[in-house]
């Protein structure tokens, strides 16, 4: 996300505790850096700002990504960037949405349709006929449920996912979607697809 602030709106001096959010604008996106500077507009780039749970740490940060918090520092006239510790990153992860994407699909709002995948069906079919796969899938589902209610066990989620993917062959399209779902929901900040 690229944020544009009018220099006159950026808090200074006695406004040290005020975030520059009030000066936020997106109307400058077609201008070059030189044009922005000449107009007194400052450009700040914050990658992958999240909104769905961003109120969790808003007292500490003005903006959040899955891995970093951004807080305005009037002394330097810019954002201080803080790497979030794992316990804060885990609280931001949307395990519910991750499971929805895997089991149902992802809704495409732009085209007003559900984009399905075969991840869940492929894993489900394999677990019907193979006990080790069934056990791994059961453990994975159990760990995702625990994570959804606030008790994530990261090592067990990673372990069960690794085991599933060693026992079940997903198509390259489904692996790409799985990685995308992990990235979009924040899961990829703590869990990796095995290589």
For the stretch 16-29, pLDDT in tens is 444 555 455 556 66
- Minimum mean pLDDT range among 48-62, 105-119, 126-140: 48-62
Q: Which residue has the higher pLDDT, 77 or 68?
A: 68
- Domain of residue 26 covers 2-89
Q: What is the mean pLDDT of residues 163-173?
A: 96
How far apart are the two ends of the chain, measured CA to CA in Å? 30
* Phi (first) and psi of residue 170, to 5 degrees: -95, 150
Same domain assignment for residues 7 and 79:
yes
Starting at the edge strand that comes first in sequence, how are the strands of the sheet with 41-45 ordered? 24-25, 2-6, 41-45
Q: Are residues 183 and 97 in the same domain?
A: yes
Q: Residue 55: which of 69, 37, 41, 67 has the closest Cα? A: 69
Same domain, 114 and 29: no
Q: Strands 24-25, 2-6: parallel, antiparallel or unpaired by DSSP?
A: antiparallel
Residue 89 token pair: 């990153």
Q: Where a domain ends, among 89, 114, 145?
A: 89
Among 15-29, 36-50, 56-70, 106-120, which range has the highest average pLDDT?
A: 106-120
CB 71 within 8 A of CB 62: yes
DSSP character at residue 118: S
Tell me, yes or no, whether 73 and 136 share the same domain.
no
Task: Say if 194 falls within a structural domain.
Answer: no
Among residues 89, 112, 141, which one ends one of the domains? 89
Which pairs from 113-120 meet CB under 8 Å and 24+ separation?
Answer: 117/173, 117/174, 117/177, 118/170, 118/171, 118/174, 119/170, 119/174, 119/177, 119/178
| Statement: residue 161 has pLDDT above 60 | yes
Domains held by the chain: number: 2
The answer to whether residue 27 is domain-embedded is yes
**Residue 77 shares a structural domain with residue 122:** no
- Strongest mean pLDDT among 69-83, 86-100, 126-140: 126-140
pLDDT in tens, 53-71: 545 655 678 778 888 888 8
pLDDT, residue 36, reads 73
């Amino acid at each position: 996300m690229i944020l544009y602030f009018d220099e006159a709106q950026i808090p200074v001096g006695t406004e040290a505790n005020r975030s520059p959010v009030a000066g936020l604008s997106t109307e400058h996106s077609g201008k070059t850096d030189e044009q922005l500077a000449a107009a007194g507009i400052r450009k700040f780039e914050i990658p992958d700002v999240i909104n769905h749970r961003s109120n969790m740490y808003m007292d500490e940060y003005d903006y959040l990504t899955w891995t970093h918090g951004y807080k305005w520092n009037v002394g330097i006239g810019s954002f201080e960037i803080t790497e979030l510790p794992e316990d804060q990153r885990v609280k931001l992860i949307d395990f519910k949405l991750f499971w929805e994407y895997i089991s149902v699909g992802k809704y495409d709002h732009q085209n007003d349709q559900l984009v399905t995948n075969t991840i869940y069906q492929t894993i489900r079919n394999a677990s019907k006929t193979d006990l080790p796969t069934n056990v791994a899938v059961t453990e994975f589902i159990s760990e995702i449920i625990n994570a959804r209610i606030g008790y994530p066990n990261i090592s067990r989620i990673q372990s069960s996912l690794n085991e599933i993917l060693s026992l079940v062959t997903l198509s390259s399209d489904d692996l790409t979607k799985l990685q995308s779902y992990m990235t979009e929901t924040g899961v990829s900040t703590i869990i990796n697809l095995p290589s």
